[in-house]
């Protein structure tokens, strides 16, 4: 029997609800047919903020009601409060269900969560713990957090449990608040599909989420103040994403992507990533020769070192050590562009020292020529 034939509970609402509708269709589309939908009734929440804080003009077709959807798809449907642990226990035991997926739910109590041996997975529209709570959009902007979706197994605390993954939403410089909200929503659907693939491949890895406390709901004034910083947030996040994309492209040797990013953001040529690695360092370390050539032609500094004073040449030699038929062309490119092979790192060592330690006599002879000039 295919693993995807295993029964899976979908926590949903019994009224027309976009995420419920889309998640059920997406789960069916990726091959899950044995879905058991637990649809909770509508509850009127106290102190619900219904103010409109930014324009909304995107057209979204209204979802079909959950009972009608389940009937048309031939899915098992139970109208049940998500806190009714006894009724849900009977359903779980009857179908031998191990996994639950949240498509629409209020707070699910611990007595229900513990019924699922594999857990209940949630898709939070923000990075946890930075954006925990209901106002995740506003805390994303306030805390300068990346936009996206946290996939996690829930526990008795809100927006906590076991972290699975974070699916980041790309941001453009033309992003509006409305398109941001829509794109984060669509990212939930992307994250759902990735989770399903990973889960049925038995490749899900988790770690405990460190969330001492969740964020409190913002007041209307706090939301307005937060939204006033949207453009600054957008610019910083976009630049951060482009930096990360540039470094990945340098690692992969994706010259076309490198050209595209630096054409739009030439100031990123000498940017340092989280490890203190510049695009040139990343390309040198990963032996991405054509990218190295391109970066040097643009004017990348061949002597701009990493956090510990490690030069691009020092990084470039790493994967050449004791390699048969080693290609030294990146070292040649660096030398021809003015790299100083006698530079010392923060430990007072030069490249000759490290190559000599490796015992690679051929590389040592090559580097010694660079040092002598």
Token readout for 107 is 């707070």
Q: Which CATH class is domain 239-372?
A: mainly alpha
CA 146/CA 125 separation, integer angstroms: 11
Class of domain 3-227: alpha beta
Tell me the pairing of strands 35-40 and 8-13.
parallel
pTM above 0.85, yes or no: yes
CA 242 distance to own-chain centroid: 14
**pLDDT computed for residue 2 by the predictor:** 63
pLDDT at position 274 is: 83
Which DSSP string corresponds to 320-367?
A: GTT-TT---HHHHHHHHTT--TT---TTS--HHHHHHHHT-HHHHHHH
Token code pair at residue 13? 């609402």
pLDDT > 70 fraction of the chain, expressed in percent and rounded: 99
The full 3-state SS of 240-301, as one line of letters, equals: HHHHHHHHHHHHHCCHHHHHHHHHHCHHHHHCCCCCCCCHHHHHHHCCCHHHHHHHHHHCCC
- CATH 1.25.40.20 segments of the chain: 239-372
Residue segments in the chain with a per-residue pLDDT below the cut of 70: 1-3
Q: Where, residue-wise, is CATH 3.40.50.170 in the chain?
A: 3-227
Query: How would you write 9-44 as a 3-class SS string?
Result: EEEEECCCCHHHHHHHHHHHHCCCCCEEEEEECCCC
Q: How far apart are CA 247 and CA 239, in angstroms?
A: 12
DSSP 8-class letter at 4: G
pLDDT the model gives residue 1: 46
Render pLDDT for 92-136 as a digit per residue (tens, 0 to 9): 999 999 999 999 998 999 999 999 999 999 999 999 999 998 899
Q: Please report the beta strands in 64-113, taking only residues with DSSP state E, as ranges in sequence order.
A: 76-79, 99-102
């Amino acid at each position: 029997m295919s693993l995807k034939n295993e029964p899976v509970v979908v926590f949903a609402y019994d009224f027309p609800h976009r995420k419920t509708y889309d998640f059920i269709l997406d789960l069916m589309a990726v091959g899950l047919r044995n879905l058991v939908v637990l649809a909770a009734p509508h509850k009127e929440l106290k102190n619900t903020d219904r103010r409109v804080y930014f324009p909304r003009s995107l057209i979204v077709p209204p979802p079909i009601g959950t009972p009608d959807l389940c009937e048309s798809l031939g899915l098992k449907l139970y109208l049940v409060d998500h806190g009714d642990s006894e009724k849900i226990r009977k359903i779980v035991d009857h179908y031998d269900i191990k996994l639950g997926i949240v498509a629409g739910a209020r707070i699910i109590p611990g007595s229900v969560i513990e019924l699922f041996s594999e857990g209940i997975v949630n898709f939070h529209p923000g990075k946890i713990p930075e954006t925990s709570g209901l106002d995740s959009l506003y805390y994303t902007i306030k805390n300068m957090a990346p936009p996206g979706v946290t996939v996690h197994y829930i526990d008795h605390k809100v927006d906590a449990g076991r972290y699975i993954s974070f699916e980041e939403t790309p941001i453009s410089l033309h992003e509006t608040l409305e398109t941001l909200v829509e794109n984060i929503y669509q990212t939930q659907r992307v994250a759902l599909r990735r989770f399903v693939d990973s889960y049925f491949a038995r490749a899900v890895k988790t770690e405990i989420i460190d969330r001492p406390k969740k964020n409190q709901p913002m007041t209307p004034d706090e939301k307005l103040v937060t939204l006033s910083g949207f453009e600054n947030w957008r610019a910083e996040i976009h630049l951060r994403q482009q930096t990360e994309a540039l470094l990945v492209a340098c690692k992969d040797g994706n010259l076309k992507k490198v050209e595209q990013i630096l054409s739009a953001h030439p100031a990123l040529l000498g940017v340092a990533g989280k490890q203190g690695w510049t695009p040139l360092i990343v390309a040198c370390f990963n032996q991405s020769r054509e990218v190295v050539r391109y970066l040097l032609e643009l004017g990348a500094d061949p002597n701009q070192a990493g956090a510990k004073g490690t030069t691009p040449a020092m990084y470039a030699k790493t994967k050449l050590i004791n390699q048969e038929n080693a290609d030294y062309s990146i070292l040649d490119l660096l030398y021809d562009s003015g790299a100083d092979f006698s530079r010392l790192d923060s430990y007072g060592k030069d490249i000759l020292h490290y190559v000599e330690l490796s015992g690679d006599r051929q590389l040592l002879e090559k580097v010694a020529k660079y040092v002598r000039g």
